[in-house]
Amino acid sequence: MAFGRAGLRLAPAHPLGHPEKMQIEGFDGTIGGARWWARAFCFSALLGLVVALLGPFGSFYNNVALRLIDWTTVFLLQTILLGLLVPMMMRLGIAAKLPRWFTLGSALVLIAVPGAAVAATLTNIFWGQHVSTYRWYDWYLQTLLLIVVTTLLWGCFEIARAPRKGGRESIESSRHTSKGDVICLQMEDHYVRVHRMTGSTLELMALRDAIRRYGNSDGLQVHRGWWVAADATRGAERNARNWRLILRNGLEVPIARNRINLARERGWLDRG
């Protein structure tokens, strides 16, 4: 059940030429990457242990071993639900121009439905006699409460540990939205990485929205997943029929075949 502030705005900057996938503000790792999932599962397992020892919602009637198995399994399965569904719902909400906190809250309310089904199924397996009087709304409200509390704890945990990385990464200011210093935009799954000479940030939006926000008329979308500023290129390389732009910060950007002529007309393929 650990997810936190996924998609709420900007990601930590990274060293030039070494982008990391889907980094989000306050996180020390990647959403959807192996490190993020490992950390989320460890957090959920630890939380399952703590909750099993406390025995809330009447679960103290059963022995500690069964409580540990039940609560840990519930937390791990709901972590999977949150980790997979929250980014998708955040993107849909942002595309609809809904406030991010409203979108995240709505996502948690909706995800509590399958989460409650998971909790009810497992708990009935382990100690069905103690929950025979529970109604659907009991399962739902208890699950929603746990999801919200755990999400807040996870967010605090991730944000608190972010500064420990020292000089390798720094949190980009949310006011850093100038078009002029944007070198290129790179689509990453549901996110867009905004590249600057000083590093990059990751924002939860569609590429077309990022182009409207950060792009200008001199730039060009050279690939379905890339937009490049006019003054960002320092050369180009060709491998058989495939072209790549070499940017000032060392990034190599692929050029779609139907965009090669446009790039050539601008003189980008003659640089270097």
Same domain as 134, residue 55: yes
Residue 177 covered by a domain: no
Same domain as 156, residue 44: yes
DSSP reduced 3-state for 202: strand
Same domain as 186, residue 67: no
Looking at residue 33, its pLDDT comes to 64
Looking at residue 15, its pLDDT comes to 37
Same domain as 112, residue 227: no
What burial letters (b/e) apply to 4-37, b meaning 16+ CB within 10 Å? bbbbbebbbbbebeebbebbbbbbbbbbbeeebb
The Cα–Cα gap between 72 and 49 comes to 6
Contact 218/206 with Cβ under 8 angstroms? no
The Cα–Cα gap between 73 and 65 comes to 12
Same domain as 157, residue 88: yes
Same domain as 247, residue 156: no
Q: What is the pLDDT of residues 36-81, one digit of tens each?
A: 788 888 888 898 888 887 877 766 667 777 778 888 888 888 888 8
Looking at residue 61, its pLDDT comes to 64
Instruction: State the DSSP code for 171.
Output: B
Average per-residue pLDDT in the chain?
76
Contact 237/243 with Cβ under 8 angstroms? yes
C-alpha closest to that of 198 among 183, 220, 186, 208: 183
pTM of the model: 0.49
C-alpha closest to that of 102 among 31, 233, 8: 8
Strand boundaries in the chain, DSSP class E:
182-188, 191-196, 199-203, 220-223, 226-228, 233-239, 242-247, 252-255
Q: What is the CATH number of the domain that holds 221?
A: 2.40.50.1020
Query: 10 Å Cβ neighbour count for 51?
Result: 22
Distance of CA 18 to the CA centre of its chain: 18
Instruction: State the DSSP code for 62.
Output: S
Reported as type and span, the H/E element at residue 103 is helix 100-127
The Cα–Cα gap between 266 and 250 comes to 20
Q: What is the pLDDT of residues 111-132, one digit of tens each?
A: 999 988 888 887 777 666 666 6
Q: What domain range is 208 assigned to? A: 182-270
Same domain as 188, residue 75: no
Same domain as 140, residue 111: yes
Same domain as 127, residue 84: yes
Residue 4 covered by a domain: no
Same domain as 153, residue 190: no
Same domain as 236, residue 161: no
Give Cα separations from 44 to 38, 40, 63, 76 (angstroms).
Answer: 10, 6, 20, 6
Looking at residue 99, its pLDDT comes to 84
Contact 48/68 with Cβ under 8 angstroms? yes
pLDDT along the chain (272 residues), means of 10: 36 38 37 74 88 73 76 86 84 80 89 88 71 78 88 79 42 47 87 87 86 86 92 86 88 91 87 58
Residue 1 covered by a domain: no
Looking at residue 167, its pLDDT comes to 36
Same domain as 207, residue 154: no
Residue 193 covered by a domain: yes
Residue 123 covered by a domain: yes
User: Tokens 């630890």, residue?
Assistant: 46
Number of domains the chain contains: 2
Looking at residue 186, its pLDDT comes to 92
Choosing from 167, 191, 213, the residue where a domain stops is: 167
Residue 173 covered by a domain: no
